[in-house]
């Protein structure tokens, strides 16, 4: 079992902004998450959660509506989703200078969950900061390939 700290690539994929292939992959990711023992880790009131609620309000295609249904099922299941309160997150003052403020919550979530958690991202500056501080991470495309067993079209 792994605790997965996903960043906003998920919402761009599910909205269709990164193309149909990545939207389909991310829908498969949500379906697979519902079946696996892995959990997602979310920080309440974060931009990740706000983008989820934005998709809930704006879902206009069958794929987007399916994404909402699948993510809601994950979000409300405590065996599938760890929900962290912002005021319970650990201090990361040692990292703040190395990454964007918008990404702090991702690192805090990973640190809150410890060694069994990994940040899944496409953000190269964030990857560089995670790597330089030996924080577990994996690029979205590599993780998706292993998780759902299909090649990603993007690098």
**Cβ-proximal residues to 5 (8 Å cutoff; 6+ apart), any chain:** 40, 41, 106, 109, 110, 113, 117, 118, 119, 120
How is residue 13 written in tokens?
């994929």
**For position 151, what pLDDT does the model report?**
56
Q: Which residue segment(s) compose the domain that 105 sits in?
A: 3-148
**For position 152, what pLDDT does the model report?**
53
- Alpha-carbon span 67 to 36, nearest angstrom: 17
Instruction: For residue 57, tell me if it sits in a domain.
Output: yes
Instruction: For residue 153, tell me if it sits in a domain.
Output: no
41-91 per-position pLDDT tens digit: 999 999 999 999 999 999 999 999 999 999 999 999 999 999 999 999 999
Overall number of domains in the chain: 1
Instruction: For residue 154, tell me if it sits in a domain.
Output: no
Terminal Cα distance for the chain, rounded: 26
Instruction: For residue 74, tell me if it sits in a domain.
Output: yes
Measured in degrees and rounded to the nearest 5, phi and psi for residue 9 equal -50, -35
- Count other Cβ atoms within 10 Å, centred on residue 24: 16
pTM of the model as a whole: 0.92
**For position 149, what pLDDT does the model report?**
85
Instruction: For residue 155, tell me if it sits in a domain.
Output: no
92-113 per-position pLDDT tens digit: 998 889 999 999 999 999 999 9
Distances (CA, A) of 9 to 5, 15, 88: 11, 10, 25
Give the CATH number for residue 16: 3.40.50.1010
Is 15 within 8 Å of 55 (Cβ atoms)? yes
Instruction: For residue 83, tell me if it sits in a domain.
Output: yes
């Amino acid at each position: 079992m792994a605790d997965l700290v996903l960043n906003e690539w998920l919402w761009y994929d599910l909205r269709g902004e990164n193309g149909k292939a990545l939207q389909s992959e991310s829908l498969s990711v949500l379906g697979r998450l519902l079946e696996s023992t892995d959990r997602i880790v979310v920080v309440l009131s974060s931009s990740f959660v706000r983008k989820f609620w934005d998709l809930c309000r704006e879902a206009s295609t069958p794929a987007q509506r399916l994404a909402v249904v699948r993510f809601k099922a994950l979000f409300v299941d405590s065996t599938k989703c760890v929900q962290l309160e912002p005021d319970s997150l650990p201090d990361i003052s040692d990292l703040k200078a190395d990454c964007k403020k918008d990404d702090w919550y991702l690192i805090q979530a990973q640190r809150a969950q410890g060694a069994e958690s990994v940040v899944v991202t496409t953000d190269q500056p964030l990857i560089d900061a995670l790597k330089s501080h030996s924080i577990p991470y994996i690029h979205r495309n590599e993780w998706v390939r292993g998780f759902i067993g299909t090649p990603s079209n993007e690098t």
